[in-house]
Chain A
Amino acid sequence: MNVEEALRDAMGAQVAGVHASPSIGQAVRRRRRRHQVRFRTAGAAAVTVAVAGAAPAYLTLQDATGHRGSPAPVGAAAPSAGPSAAVSGDDVAVPQIVVPNIVGVAVERARAMLEDAGLAVAFRKTVTPGVTPGTIVSQDPAAGAPAAPGSQVAAVIATTDRPSATPTPDPSGSRDEMPQDLGDLGDGRAFGGVHVGYLPKGLVWGEWSGKDGFGTHSYATSWVERGLEKTGLYSVEMVVYRGAAAGDLASRVKAARGTGTPVDLGGTTAYLVSEAEGNTTRAVLWTLRPGLGVEVMISPDYRAKLGEDAADAELREIAAHVTPAG
């Protein structure tokens, strides 16, 4: 057996028993609706470290964008269909944990209960009149549901007032490297630690933002032509890469030196490239400063409308006016 076949055989054997959960569609749509900030531990090993150490808090706030979302395309999701419960019966090698009941429990106690059980947790707050602030009002997956070790339980904390725009300091200290989470997205012009100084005329913020969709510590948002805000379409999308994600972008910038069109940004060079299947998506990418990379994409539709040269000119103009925030 040659090495390619041996490798193919070994890879096949490793994943033969793995199947995506049938409820993956529900899980994906729920993520789309929520757009909540997530802080997720990397897995069972990281959870163990967290419990052994100072147990950092994973406290997140529901930002103003969190309640928008398209009408639910599927019925109310079954309580056990959360991301953490999305483990099919084929994955017998993974030991299962029974999710404890934390509804009605104070937040600190709830955190301890979940961590003791070997589960990660993401909190968000909602205004819930008549419930003692700081008490858990709902959880997903529900109590009694099976979950894989290290998977995440989403818990909603009752609060009496609207969450402030300022994110609660993260006791783990990692907040420092994550400036401008999603709280400052009122106009969609400052996020992920950059300020967007120029946008093509007629575009409005697409009223969404995402975190970590393009690698750890990446932030994304988009702008669309007026009237398309809620359609899920984009005209211009921007991704800010920080930390590990910035390293990935830097390698892509390096690769673009051979194929892309250089754009002088005074001190740094961006590259215009064609991306996606069939090279239909035009993008400009560059490293703003070490550990901070930016990519701006223009949708094929919007590019067709503007014309190819005008679309490139807009991308150059946007790139020239992106500055580090604060």
Chain B
Amino acid sequence: MTEEDEAAFDEFLAARSTALLRTAILVCGASTPDAEDMVQSALEKVYRHWPRIRHDNPEAYARRVVVNGAISRARRRKVLQEITFAHPPDTPVESPDVGLRQALLDELRRLPARMRAVLVLRYWEDMSEAETAAMLGCSVGTVKSQAARGLARVRARMGHMEGASA
């Protein structure tokens, strides 16, 4: 690894590490420290192959490692999450906006890990269906159906909230 490689890696981190961390948090529904750990372990892999991949879209590679790591970690955490998020907030919310956001995020966390990853990649990362499919190693049809089912569940929750506040 040359000094130039090292400097380029630092630039890459400065530009991309926050985005990767945010994606990790959204995909696995983890706490920030947990997501940091996951992102670091993904970046260690990026760093290991850096001289080879730095000219070949390292961000996509890093994102793929992060997303796959987040999915598997989210699956392991599922039981814990069910316990943690099983109680919808009963207390009145400060503003309808905050209440709605929280409800949507709760619903997002309840989705299966891969379905949640599809929604994050499509609507947070603004990736196309084809890009999402490539990242997750599944077909475009799967991305379509997972996105539709995930959105339907979130929409149902949103409709319920709006119905209640009307």
Q: How far is the CA of A213 from the CA of B46 in the complex (A)?
A: 11
Name the B residues within 8 Å of A28 (CB-CB).
13, 40, 43-44, 47
Asked if B30 is at the interface of the complex by the 8 Å CB criterion, the answer is: yes
A4-B151, A15-B22, A32-B48 as given contacts; A87 in contact with B36, CB under 8 Å: yes
Dominant SS at the B interface?
helix
Q: Is the CB of B21 within 8 A of A20?
A: yes
Q: In the complex, which of the residues A42, A212, A215, A244 contacts B34, with contact meaning CB atoms closer than 8 Å?
A: A42
Q: Is the CB of B75 within 8 A of A151?
A: no
Q: Mark B32-57, 1 if CB is under 8 A from A, else 0.
A: 11101101111111011111100011
Q: How many residues of B contact A (CB 8 A)?
A: 68
Q: In the complex, which of the residues A21, A84, A210 contacts B45, with contact meaning CB atoms closer than 8 Å?
A: A210
What residue of chain A has the Cβ atom nearest to residue B56's Cβ?
Answer: A277
Q: In the complex, which of the residues A13, A31, A150, A208 contacts B41, with contact meaning CB atoms closer than 8 Å?
A: A31
Q: In the complex, which of the residues A15, A212, A247 contacts B25, with contact meaning CB atoms closer than 8 Å?
A: A15
Q: Is the CB of B72 within 8 A of A216?
A: yes
What residue of chain B has the Cβ atom nearest to residue A279's Cβ?
Answer: B134
Q: Is the CB of B1 within 8 A of A73?
A: yes
- Which chain B residues have a beta carbon within 8 Å of chain A's beta carbons? 1, 6, 9-10, 13, 17-18, 20-22, 25-26, 30-34, 36-37, 39-45, 47-52, 56-57, 60-61, 64-65, 68-69, 71-73, 75-77, 80, 83-84, 100-102, 104-105, 108, 114, 119-120, 123-124, 137-139, 142, 151, 154-155, 158
30 A-B residue pairs with Cβ-Cβ distance under 8 Å, sorted by A, are A3-B158, A4-B123, A9-B101, A10-B105, A13-B101, A14-B101, A15-B22, A18-B18, A20-B13, A20-B17, A24-B36, A24-B39, A24-B43, A31-B40, A91-B32, A148-B32, A149-B33, A150-B33, A208-B48, A210-B45, A216-B72, A232-B51, A233-B51, A234-B49, A244-B76, A251-B114, A251-B137, A255-B137, A258-B139, A278-B57
- Which chain A residues have a beta carbon within 8 Å of chain B's beta carbons? 3-4, 6-15, 18-21, 24-25, 27-29, 31-32, 40, 42-46, 70, 73, 83-84, 86-87, 91, 94, 148-152, 208, 210, 212-216, 231-234, 244-245, 247-248, 251-252, 255-256, 258, 276-278, 280, 299, 301
Leading 4 A-B pairs by shortest Cβ distance: A215-B72, A20-B17, A148-B33, A15-B22
